Amino acid sequence: MHDTVAVIGLGNMGAGIARTLALAGYSVLGVDPAPEATERVGDLVTVVDLDTAVARSSVLVLSLPGSAQVERFVDHVLDADREHRLVIDTSTSSPVSTRELAERLERHGHSLLDAPVSGGPAGAWNGSLAVFLGGRDDAVAEAQPVFDAIAQRVVRVGGPGAGNVAKLVNNLLCATHLQIAGEALRLADAAHIDPARVFEAVNGASGRSAVTEVNLPRWVLSGTFDSGFPLGLMARDVALAAETARSLGVPSPLADVVAEDWQETRDRLGATEDFNRMAQPERTPQHR
C-alpha cells in the first residue's frame, strides 16, 4: 500500500475521493486552486501545490474536467523527471488521448490507468463508485489498494483507453435513455395519464432502464433535480462519444442526433443545471 496519495482536482468528485482515501488510512495531498477546495476536504486532506504533490506522492489520482487538463498534467509529470509514478485518471477523457499519454508515460518509467467512474458525488464520498478500468496488468495490480478504498465495483475492460471507451458508451446510453424518457413523460401527460403509474408499468416490462427505475422517480418526477451531475458535463460526454466514433470510423447517426440535442439543451437551460433536466415534463420538444 502506498502511504501517500495525491488527488489532483478537488471538485465534487475529487473531494469525495480524497476524503474517502484519507478515511481508509492514506496520507492524502490535494491540489486545486479554487479557494473553496480546502473547505470541501476539511482537515483530513492537506492542500498543496502541484509540484509538492508530484514530489511527495507516488500515486496521483486525477479528477479533472477532461483530456486537455490531463494532458497538461502529464506534461508536468514528465518535465519533473522523477522516479516511477502511477497516474490513475478518474476523469472522463478521450480514449485516443489516453492511449497516447499512456505510451508517453511508459517510455519514462511511469504508468497510467484510465479509470473513469460512475456513482456521482455520493459514490465518491462513501467509497461506492463503479470504475471502468483500462490499463496494463502491472499498473492494475499496483492500483488495487486504491480501488479497494474508493470503489464498490471495478470492471477491467481492457488496455489503455478501454476504460474511457466503456464510460463514454455508458453515458451515451444514459443520455439517450433520459432523452427518450422525457418524450415518454410528455406523451403520458398529453394523454392525461399519471406518469408515475406509466413508469411503474414500464419498470416491470422490457422498456425499463436505470433511467426509468432511478432517475425519473428520484430526480425528475420529484422535481428535485439535484443529482450532482451537471447538464454541461453530460453534453460534453455525449459529444466526446460521437467524436470518438467518428475518429474510429464507426457510423453513429443516432449518437450524432443525441449529441446535438444535448448541446442545444445545455445552451438553453445552462451548463450548471442538473442533467436530469433533459427529461423535465415542461421541456419543449425539438423539431428537426
Domain limits for position 233: 165-279
Residue among 74, 83, 20 nearest 50 (CA): 74
Question: Does 148 share its domain with 170?
Answer: no
Shared domain for 138 and 173, answered yes or no, is no
Asked if pLDDT for residue 9 goes beyond 80, the answer is yes
Which CATH number characterizes residue 88's domain?
3.40.50.720
Return the C-alpha cell found at 249: 470510423
* pLDDT value at 88 more than 80: yes
Residue 282 is predicted with a pLDDT of 67
77-95: average pLDDT: 91
pTM above 0.85, yes or no: yes
- Model pLDDT for residues 25-67, shown as the tens digit of each residue: 999 999 999 989 888 998 999 999 999 999 999 999 999 999 9
Name the domain count of the chain.
2
pLDDT of 287 reads 39
Q: What CATH number does residue 237 fall under?
A: 1.10.1040.10
175 plus 253 within the same structural domain: yes
- Asked which of 113, 130, 159 is the last residue of a domain, the reply is 159
Pairwise CA distance, residues 39 & 196, whole Å: 39
Q: Which of 159, 187, 216 is the C-terminal boundary of a domain?
A: 159
> CA 101, 105, 109 angle in degrees (round to 5)?
165
* pLDDT above 60 (res 197): yes
For the stretch 222-277, pLDDT in tens is: 999 999 899 999 999 999 999 999 999 999 999 999 999 999 999 999 999 999 99
Report the alpha-carbon distance of residue 45 to residue 175 in Å, rounded.
34
CB 258 within 8 A of CB 179: yes
Indicate if the pLDDT at residue 80 is higher than 90. no
Q: Are residues 79 and 108 in the same domain?
A: yes
The arithmetic mean of pLDDT across residues 113-128, rounded, is 94
Residues β-bridged to residue 114: 89, 134
Q: Is residue 287 part of a domain?
A: no
Band (pLDDT 50/70/90 cuts) for residue 286 is very low
Burial class (CB in 10 A: 0-12, 13-18, 19+), 42: exposed
Is residue 286 in a domain? Answer: no
